[in-house]
Every structure is written in structure tokens, then in C-alpha cells.
């Protein structure tokens, strides 16, 4: 097949048009820089009645459009902005629209675990599709079954690939380390960290009561005495689970503690709570923007790894019709 024909087949959706919401402009700038592109200009206006208005500065007819908008706090403002931008692109005849949502809101509401409650994660997936998305990209969903809530194709990426490389680099300075899960539900993913580091695992068993956002850690299963402990979880929201896991590990004789997680949600006074813990390093990614005042509380103990190069490469491969799995030998 001639080169020009092969390229035409790969580029059936036109050139990349990269748009940013207002939720995480720094991440969008990094992705654009990786791709060697400029972010497409648009106006996002909030009227006095809190209604949002979006206007594109140029046509996207026949183009391959990507919208980067994380849906952390303020959740409803950021979610509505994403939905309106998706519809705006659809109404302007974009050839393909991909919603890039590094952190997907309502991901914990993924099942009916008590009577008369919603499955809000499914609702959010439906809204994203109805608004106009042809594809989606996100990172580390709270529960794998959320992928099934979408009927459009997507890429669920993982911060694990970034976090594991950092941990491998500091592995030599750790003393007899062990991986500890902050939640039994994360045990399967935690096993991947233990395998990469070639260390044993321990588990924290906890229970959440009714609608209370706080869960109580009850038992530590495994040996952490005189060991460095790497506590892993998918996200840190209020910091309650991590606080209890750290305190349990210390009570059981742990040495240095490292806390590793993908989504730094840091609701309410979470950062202050974490700052008071005897933790050597907090290692996370930038799927969620961390306000400067919260970064300051954690100081040099906070390590934030950027997902921008990974996200940029996935965008490029999606546009060219190339495999994403090849990046991870899958």
C-alpha cells in the first residue's frame, strides 16, 4: 500500500484539535507541549445566574477533537462545562470527539449497595455520551465495571506505570519493604506493586457504615514490624483511610511509611490531616490539580508525577489509529 494511502487510512478523522476546560489548565498545557500543538482557543463564560456559555474561536468540521477536563471539585461546574463543550463540538460537525477525563467524578457510586440509592456513575457515563463524545479516556476508575457503563469505546489508563517506575528508583533506599493496601478492594492492584518491587503484601480491613464517608480500619493482616511500608490506594479524598492505615502500620512497628496513590482529591482538611502523619513521602500524579496552599502543607514530602507525556502519546496513537497497548507491552 502506498505511504500516502496508509497515512490517509490512519488520519480518517482529520488533524488533532486539542481543547482544554478550565478545571486543570496546567495539565492541558503540558499535553499540548508534548504534542507540539497549541490549545485551540475558546471562550468559557459563567453568567451571573451560574449558567455556562462556550464559544469556539474556529471551526472543527471534520477534525479529530480532544477535550481535557478533569471532574474534581467544583464537581458540578466542571462536569457541566465538559458536557457543554462536547455538545458545542458536536454541533460544529467535528468528525470525532474524545472526552479526556483524568479523574471521573461519582466513580464510587457504581452499584446499589443499599435500597433506594442511585448508580450515579452510570448516569455520568450516559450524559457524556448524549452530550456528544465518541470516545473517552480516563485514569484508574474506582471500579472496573464502570467501563461497562459506557457504550462508546475508551481507554482506561493507569497511573501505575508512572508510580511503579518512581518506586523502583527508590527501592534500594528502603529497608525490607512491604506493600500495604489501604482497602481490601484495592488488593488485586496492590499485588502489581508488590510484584514490581518483589516484596510481600499486607492488608488493611475496614468497614464503611451506611452513608458515612468515613470508614474505620479494623485489622492489619500481615507483617510490617521493622519494615518500610508502602501504602497504596487509588485515590485520597478525606484522608481517613490513609490516616488509619498509617497509624495501624506504625502501631505494629513499621519503620518509614510511603503513601502512593493516583488521584489527589484532597477534600476539605485532608491535606492538613496528611501533613500531621509520620509519612516519609506522599507519591501521586496530577490527574487532579492540587491547590498551592495544600501543596505547601505537605512540602517536599509530596511528589507529583505528571501524566501529560502518557496522555499525549495516547492521544497521538488514537489519532493515527495505532495500538495503545503496545506502550505497555500488552
Query: Looking at the annotation, which residues are catalytic?
Result: 206
The closest alpha carbon to 171, from 258, 248, 236, 233, belongs to 258
Decide: 193 and 232 in contact? Cβ < 8 Å.
yes
C-alpha cell at 139: 485514569
3-state helix, strand, coil in the chain (%, to 5): 40, 25, 35
State the DSSP code for 111.
S
C-alpha cell at 253: 512497628
Provide the sign of the torsion angle of the four alpha carbons 43, 25, 21, 80, taken in this order.
negative
Count Cβ atoms within 10 A of the Cβ of residue 5 and give its class: 0-12 exposed, 13-18 middle, 19 or more buried.
Answer: exposed
Decide: 285 and 262 in contact? Cβ < 8 Å.
yes
The closest alpha carbon to 234, from 207, 195, 262, 258, belongs to 262
DSSP labels for 213-268? S-EEEEEEES--TTS-EEEEEEEESSSHHHHHHHHHHHHTT--SEEEEEEEE---T
Angle formed at CA 14 by CA 99 and CA 317, multiple of 5 degrees: 60
DSSP labels for 124-162? HHHHHHHHT-SEEEEE--SSGGGGGG-SS-EEEE-THHH
Number of helical H runs and strand E runs in the chain: 10, 14
Amino acid at each position: 500500500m502506498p505511504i500516502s494511502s496508509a497515512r490517509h487510512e490512519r488520519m480518517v478523522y482529520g488533524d488533532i484539535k486539542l481543547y482544554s476546560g478550565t478545571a486543570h489548565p496546567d495539565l492541558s498545557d503540558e499535553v499540548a507541549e508534548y504534542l507540539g500543538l497549541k490549545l485551540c482557543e475558546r471562550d468559557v463564560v459563567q453568567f451571573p445566574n451560574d449558567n455556562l456559555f462556550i464559544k469556539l474561536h474556529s471551526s472543527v468540521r471534520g477534525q479529530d477533537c480532544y477535550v481535557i477536563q478533569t471532574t474534581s471539585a467544583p464537581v458540578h461546574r466542571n462536569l457541566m462545562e465538559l458536557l457543554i463543550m462536547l455538545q458545542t463540538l458536536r454541533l460544529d460537525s467535528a468528525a470525532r470527539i474524545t472526552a479526556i477525563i483524568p479523574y471521573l467524578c461519582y466513580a464510587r457510586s457504581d452499584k446499589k449497595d443499599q435500597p433506594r440509592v442511585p448508580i450515579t456513575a452510570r448516569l455520568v457515563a450516559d450524559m457524556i455520551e448524549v452530550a456528544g463524545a465518541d470516545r473517552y479516556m480516563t485514569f484508574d476508575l474506582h471500579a472496573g465495571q464502570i467501563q461497562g457503563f459506557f457504550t462508546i469505546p475508551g481507554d482506561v489508563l493507569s497511573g501505575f506505570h508512572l508510580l511503579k517506575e518512581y518506586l523502583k528508583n527508590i527501592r534500594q533506599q528502603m529497608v525490607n519493604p512491604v506493600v500495604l493496601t489501604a482497602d481490601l478492594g484495592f488488593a488485586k492492584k496492590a499485588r502489581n506493586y508488590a510484584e514490581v518491587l518483589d516484596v510481600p503484601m499486607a492488608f488493611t480491613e475496614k468497614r464503611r457504615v451506611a452513608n458515612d464517608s468515613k470508614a474505620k480500619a479494623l485489622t492489619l493482616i500481615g507483617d510490617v514490624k521493622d519494615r518500610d511500608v508502602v501504602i497504596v490506594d487509588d485515590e485520597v479524598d478525606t484522608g481517613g483511610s490513609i490516616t488509619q492505615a498509617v497509624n495501624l502500620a506504625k502501631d505494629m512497628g513499621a519503620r518509614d511509611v510511603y503513601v502512593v496513590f493516583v488521584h489527589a482529591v484532597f477534600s476539605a482538611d485532608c491535606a492538613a490531616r496528611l501533613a500531621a502523619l509520620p509519612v516519609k513521602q506522599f507519591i501521586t500524579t496530577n490527574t487532579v490539580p492540587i491547590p498551592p496552599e495544600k501543596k505547601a502543607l505537605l512540602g517536599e514530602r509530596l511528589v507529583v508525577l505528571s501524566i501529560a507525556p502518557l496522555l499525549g502519546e495516547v492521544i497521538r496513537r488514537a489519532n493515527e489509529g495505532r495500538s495503545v497497548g503496545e506502550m505497555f507491552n500488552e
